[in-house]
Structure 1
């Protein structure tokens, strides 16, 4: 890609899902680097609190209470950004939520609500970003996918489907923009399991509280990848070596990785804690008790660094290929253990 991107200190950045997890971490890290911010989320009170926190530090912030699944709300995000700052340099489509449970058990309205946020939210945000940026100097569009963009998992089937759809949409949009030489960089970020409020916010149909399978990485690693892609055009970014390993292994040995998922994911996505009646979630409306939190505090070790991600972001094509080969070797090793 030959797109020229501004330094962070000169940028106006839109972040959706900005009041929790990856979005919250990215907003705070971007603020530290002098970015002007347009923050969007469903919870107006949490947005106001976050904006006050950042303004005390001298950060220029605009907020928009918005549901990304609603086209009119997303158009309002773009309008506020233009009215306040006159342009958008980076748009981060981060908002997302999950449902844990067997596909047959989940209600149709919950399936549809998940897709409305995870997929249509990305579509709405991407098209609004392109409309606002394409003729005003260009910039970076960054969509948050997942390791399950490449490999589906049981018990989060519709979440996996939504992230597969996000990948397909992002790749199609990128090719169309490149065909017309639009001054836009389009990046898909694929995090592994991240220590956020993801499992707490998810709707749960299981008898146990949902959990994330290890290895689990810190949200700062995803935020760092997002901020890097905002300045340096990247096609894909895998956050956490496990994400790349799962992707490479699933492509090379899909059947074996089906067996691996069957053998591990049904257990690893359930915590020992029994699900209580009336459990709250953030599928249809924000859960105010868990806003403005970026980490859950997992039972497992949380990796604060990823040598794979750091090297892949800052290396050339040859080194990236070598790193991919290393991930494939790790996947092959895992498959041999599984076969035994």
Structure 2
């Protein structure tokens, strides 16, 4: 898996006002990391920064739209000036649309790509501008099983996540060519109980929901922090469903096409009719001055898991392998003793 790096002293987390990003900044704060929180929503940012301080960490909340490259550049400069050299940059911000592709307007699709894909490109570019001269730093791209397997009703999101994989692979090769010590890794997530299902623009007749099994944001946050500690590993897959989705698509993509055509619409909607007045954060943050703080978790806490045995095994696979070798050795010794006796 590669040796661990020292925990970051200064980290930047995009999409830090809610969901996975917000859970991640809390874990970083517990380690004593100074955290810059980047997001659009002022209320969510303020609440997330308070949580960081409650954990004993230093927080620097910055309102920024990740689709705006110059604003991200300014945010990076502010972080370095107020917190110090950036050791870790975690890209997690996104926005999207729940709708069939043909019901998604061109400007909406473009906006989703600008935030979710180009937001990662802008964040990575700014991180490298500060890390490359020092030849030190780690970038974590928070992805999804949907980076490898597209599903209906989420064409914009799936397209953006696929694009992030290709972009990151190209960048990784370039850094290796340059002999750089800056490292880039990815974390591919399962369905997570975040506020996205309460605030993404939706044209579905019923409320959107994650496809089970569903995990709490803290499960994703643990994996992200672990990836930051061991960035020499190219990717981390979180949750058995992520593993099965990625591997299943490699083996039988046509079978998954037919399965998702039959089940993908119903599995992503509850039985409750959608509220036509629900918030939508594509163009403006739902947790802005006129909105509310949506918090870390979404509306599916009663159906979500706080732990993933697969994710734990993935993070500790060297320990598990060593334990397996030890058990095998003990078994061999016991067998030989039995034979001698």
TM-score, with normalisation over the residues of structure 2? 0.88
Instruction: Tell me: CA distance 1:264–1:185, structure 2 relative to 1, closer, same or farther (3 Å).
Output: same
1:135 is paired with a residue whose SS is helix
CA apart distance, 1:3: 7.9
Residue of 299, 303, 306 corresponding to 1:304: 306
CA apart distance, 1:53: 3.9
The residue correspondences of 1:277-316 to structure 2 (distance < 5 A) are 277-288=276-287, 289-298=291-300, 301-316=303-318
- Native 8 Å contact 1:74 1:125 kept in 2: yes
**1:334 is matched with which residue?**
none
- Native 8 Å contact 1:145 1:190 kept in 2: yes
- Native 8 Å contact 1:64 1:76 kept in 2: no
- Native 8 Å contact 2:87 2:131 kept in 1: yes
Residue of 139, 159, 165 corresponding to 2:163: 165
**2:270 is matched with which residue?**
271
Instruction: Tell me: CA distance 1:193–1:27, structure 2 relative to 1, closer, same or farther (3 Å).
Output: same
State which structure, 1 or 2, has the greater radius of gyration over its C-alpha atoms.
2
Distance (Å, rounded) in 2 between the aligned partners of 1:93 and 1:317: 28
- Native 8 Å contact 2:29 2:53 kept in 1: no
**1:250 is matched with which residue?**
249
Distance (Å, rounded) in 1 between the aligned partners of 2:229 and 2:211: 31
2:153 is paired with a residue whose SS is coil
Residue of 74, 77, 82 corresponding to 2:75: 77
1:274-308 C-alpha deviation (Å, 9 max, x unpaired) = 12223211111111245351111317621221111
1:141 is paired with a residue whose SS is strand
Distance (Å, rounded) in 2 between the aligned partners of 1:3 and 1:80: 31
TM-score, with normalisation over the residues of structure 1? 0.88
Residue 31 of structure 2 corresponds to residue 29 of structure 1: no
2:197 is paired with a residue whose SS is helix
Pick which of 64-73 and 286-295 moved more: 286-295
CA apart distance, 1:2: 6.6
CA apart distance, 1:46: 3.1
Distance (Å, rounded) in 1 between the aligned partners of 2:249 and 2:26: 34
Distance (Å, rounded) in 2 between the aligned partners of 1:304 and 1:4: 25
**1:148 is matched with which residue?**
146
CA apart distance, 1:215: 0.6
1:188 is paired with a residue whose SS is strand
2:236 is paired with a residue whose SS is strand
Instruction: Tell me: CA distance 1:318–1:252, structure 2 relative to 1, closer, same or farther (3 Å).
Output: farther
1:162-196 C-alpha deviation (Å, 9 max, x unpaired) = 11001111111111111111111211111010011
CA apart distance, 1:136: 1.9
Instruction: Tell me: CA distance 1:40–1:99, structure 2 relative to 1, closer, same or farther (3 Å).
Output: same
CA apart distance, 1:212: 1.0
1:145 is paired with a residue whose SS is strand
**1:336 is matched with which residue?**
none
CA apart distance, 1:316: 4.2
1:176-231 C-alpha deviation (Å, 9 max, x unpaired) = 11111111121111101001112112110111111111010111111001111111
Unaligned runs of 5+ in 2: 322-341
1:273 is paired with a residue whose SS is strand
2:277 is paired with a residue whose SS is coil
CA apart distance, 1:113: 0.8
The residue correspondences of 1:109-188 to structure 2 (distance < 5 A) are 109-188=107-186
**1:322 is matched with which residue?**
none
1:277 is paired with a residue whose SS is coil
Instruction: Tell me: CA distance 1:126–1:278, structure 2 relative to 1, closer, same or farther (3 Å).
Output: same
CA apart distance, 1:52: 3.4
Question: Considering only aligned residues, what root-mean-square deviation do their CA atoms show, in Å?
Answer: 2.0
**2:99 is matched with which residue?**
101
- Native 8 Å contact 1:126 1:141 kept in 2: yes
Instruction: Tell me: CA distance 1:88–1:3, structure 2 relative to 1, closer, same or farther (3 Å).
Output: farther
**1:41 is matched with which residue?**
39
**2:193 is matched with which residue?**
195
